[in-house]
Amino acid sequence: MSRLLTILYIIFCLEIGVLLIVLPWTSIWTRNYLAGHYPWISSIAHNYFFRGGVSGLGAADVWLACFEFWRLRRHLGFEESRPNR
């Protein structure tokens, strides 16, 4: 994968991860069209275990972005190669 695509992938994962961490704990999560018209979706949206699971998925996505950045840093010149002894 080229550097540009990798950087875009990292940015995408970071943005989606932060969104998934924050969104379940806002009022947008429970006050939307689907939660208002379908009671079973509303009960799922109000469940704290489900909200925590979605936030955990977001945290995993942020971790994936950090891991990919960690792998990319040598190619971008952020880390110098260590000399062999």
Model pTM? 0.79
Q: CA 27 to CA 39: how far, in whole Å?
A: 17
Quick: pLDDT tens for 24-80.
999 999 888 888 899 999 999 999 999 999 999 999 999 999 999 998 887 777 666
Alpha-carbon dihedral of residues 58, 62, 65, 66, nearest 10 degrees? -160
